[in-house]
């Protein structure tokens, strides 16, 4: 405020604020503390999100597509937002990147897959996802978002999450509990 007051000629500039090195050190300290506070806030949100979703198995929710990865030879995937929880995540489509039936349209932000019927994912589409926590090592947990609907099936013989019924392992989700809609 003192610098602002001096800039608009309301008050004179205090002597200690006229030092360029002092102001540089002050700004550097404020930026460092602001960055540390941002990182602490993000880590806290991530921790509490993992705690919430690790409770009672997988949760099946509606989500909306934010962005579609249409780069050639990249794994077919897209980013979604789950409005109910306010979380964002990456969903991988269980199809090989070099599958000839997979078409990418970068200008439309769209991916299509022609098998028995034509399936497509594009920005703003509504999809159904399964949200669960994967325990990879002793204390390392990761939030996983799998695609439930629309169902893509490539019949490639590979087993990727979201295509086949889920086996019962420690790192796999339990069936989603059906919740009654409260109105």
pLDDT in tens, 127-164: 888 888 887 777 788 888 888 887 776 544 333 343 32
Closest to 120 in 3D by CA, of 98, 91, 152, 145: 152
Where residue 1 falls among pLDDT bands split at 50, 70, 90? Answer: low
Structure tokens at 94: 């269980």
The 10s digit of each residue's pLDDT in 12-34 is 877 777 788 888 888 899 999 99
Structure tokens at 101: 């039936």
Closest to 173 in 3D by CA, of 159, 157, 162, 158: 162
Would you give the DSSP letter of residue 54?
A: T
Of residues 33 and 50, more confidence is placed in 33
Q: How far is CA 92 from the centre of its chain?
A: 12
- Quickly count: other Cβ atoms within 10 Å of residue 84's Cβ: 11
User: End-to-end alpha-carbon separation of the chain, Å?
Assistant: 49
Where residue 165 falls among pLDDT bands split at 50, 70, 90? Answer: very low
* pTM of the predicted model over 0.85: no
Q: Residues near 37 by Cβ (< 8 Å), separated by ≥ 6? A: none
């Amino acid at each position: 405020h003192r610098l602002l007051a001096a800039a608009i000629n309301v008050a004179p500039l205090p002597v200690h604020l006229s030092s360029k090195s002092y102001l540089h050190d002050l700004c550097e300290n404020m930026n460092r503390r602001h960055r540390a506070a941002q990182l602490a806030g993000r880590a806290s949100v991530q921790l509490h999100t993992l705690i919430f979703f690790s409770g009672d198995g997988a949760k099946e929710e509606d989500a909306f597509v934010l962005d579609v990865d249409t780069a050639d030879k990249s794994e077919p995937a897209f980013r979604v937002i789950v409005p109910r929880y306010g979380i964002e995540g990456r969903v991988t489509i269980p199809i090989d990147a070099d599958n000839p039936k997979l078409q990418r349209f970068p200008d439309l932000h769209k991916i299509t897959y022609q098998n028995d019927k034509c399936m497509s994912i594009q920005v703003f589409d509504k999809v159904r996802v399964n949200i669960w926590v994967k325990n990879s090592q002793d204390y390392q947990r990761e939030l996983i978002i799998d695609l439930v609907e629309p169902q893509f099936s490539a019949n490639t013989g590979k087993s990727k999450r979201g295509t086949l019924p889920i086996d019962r392992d420690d790192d796999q989700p339990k069936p989603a509990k059906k919740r009654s809609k409260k109105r």
